[in-house]
Amino acid sequence: MSRRLRLCMIAPEYASHPPFGGIATYVRDAAQWLVANGHDVHVVCVNCKGFIGDEEESCGVHVHYVAPQRIKPRRMLHYASKLPRLSYLHEAYCGWNLMEISLGAWLAVRRLTQNAPFDLVECTDFGGLAFWGLWPVHRARILLRGHGILHLDLPFAQRPGGEFHRYLEKVCADKADFILTVSDYLAQCYRLELNLEHQRINSWPWPFDFSSQDGLCKGTKTPGEPLTILYVGRMEYPKGVDLLFEAMVKAQRRFEGFRCYLIGAASGEFQASLETFLSENREWVSHLGALPQHEVFQHMSKADVLILPSRTETLPRSLVEAASFGLPQIATHVGGIPEIVEDGVTGLLVEPDNSDALAEAVLKLCASPDVRAEMGQKSRERALEKFEISKVMSKQVQVYQALVEGESPNDVLGRAV
């Protein structure tokens, strides 16, 4: 039996109150499982707005909401960037808040280590959160848990401070004791885009606590009842919602026997197009907005197909959650999605930015109840085998143990990426 570990998890958010995102859900589920299995876990959540302070959950997880630590050189960078030949400093000025967020987190870690040192600190990769923990003064092992990487070629990443953000990502990836990404695809992104030469990297998926679905089961359709196509996610460009709107209209023109339900908040740029889409197709489209997780699961238990036309993904939670309910999925062949959806077996994969192919996939599954049922059954089997929390976290603890004992987690995982 592995020994009891004292662990700290650093993240930008923690799933205390729904609705919440994928990283917040992962941190909560992983922390609660670790405590339930005898480990001492503290979560440091850098909260730029809202509650600041310490809380202990009933399950035993210690959550510390902290504020960024302001660093005075921000103003100096701003003035310097206005001087001739120093305009490049404007990029650092725009990204400086990431340094302050990271410092706020690591000052909290230092405060917590006054009682007892941590064996290991697991830090979210996005946002340079690990930066101030890389100095030699910190004695705990640093595990970078890879949830995503900033692809600078995407429109939403082309903003002031994006290059500085990428610089921090590379520093953290070069210096951390180990990087554990959530998908093979993301591990390859790290290697290629950040030019990593070391072997301190591998992949292991997110854990999913399927016990929260207890009491919900896949419903059966009555004759003549419309099929339900479900979308779960933010309404934004990376998720491909513009393609979703186009594909649904094209499919509806050829098959009127389905309804489309949209779950998720719309970003500002898509608010107008969402309203137009709803007003023109209100007979068969409903937007339910952002919902708590248990309500999302209720809709998944009643749906027939889940659709996700993303342009980029690392390992989308909605696909795994849908699979656990026995839903076949229609998704794009991008990022880590093929590590969830096996084309023609558990769902259908189409090329990105192709609304015609997306519509054809919808029509194919709408016309084939037997195919939907078989794909749904295999989807559930695959989800339980690959992503169930006890199976995933048991191996993840072995990764922790290897790092703490100075061994290579690659030996634990049994493969290199």
Average of pLDDT values for 212-217?
66
Which is higher by pLDDT, 269 or 386? 386
- Evaluate whether 44 touches 20 at the Cβ level (below 8 Å): no
Q: In what order do the strands lie in the sheet with 62-66?
A: 53-56, 62-66, 40-46, 6-11, 120-124, 141-146, 178-181, 201-203
Average of pLDDT values for 163-190?
93
Quick: pLDDT tens for 63-104. 999 999 988 887 788 888 888 888 888 888 888 889 999 999
> Is residue 162's pLDDT more than 90?
no
The whole-number pLDDT of residue 139 equals 76
Give the chain's domains with CATH numbers: 6-207+388-413 (3.40.50.2000), 210-387 (3.40.50.2000)
DSSP bridge partners of 42? 8, 62
The whole-number pLDDT of residue 16 equals 78
Average of pLDDT values for 261-266?
93
Burial degree of 291 (CB within 10 A; 0-12, 13-18, 19+): middle
Amino acid at 170: K
- Evaluate whether 284 touches 245 at the Cβ level (below 8 Å): no
Q: How many helices and strands (H and E) does the chain possess?
A: 13, 14
> Is residue 204's pLDDT more than 60?
yes
Q: How many C-beta atoms lie closer than 10 Å to residue 279's C-beta?
A: 9
> Is residue 219's pLDDT more than 80?
no
Helix (H, G, I), strand (E, B) or coil at 368: coil
0.85 exceeded by pTM? yes
The whole-number pLDDT of residue 282 equals 93
End-to-end C-alpha distance for the chain, whole angstroms: 28
pLDDT cut 70: percent of the chain above it: 94
Quick: pLDDT tens for 230-248. 999 999 888 999 999 999 9
Here the tokens at position 67 are 């504020």
Mean pLDDT score across all residues of the chain: 90
> Is residue 4's pLDDT more than 70?
yes
Length of the chain: 417
The whole-number pLDDT of residue 73 equals 80
The whole-number pLDDT of residue 211 equals 84
Task: Cis check for the bond before 19: say yes or no (omega within 30 of 0).
Answer: yes
Between 268-280 and 241-254, two packed helices, what is the crossing angle to 10 degrees?
A: 10
Quick: pLDDT tens for 356-367. 999 999 999 999
Here the tokens at position 335 are 């990022």
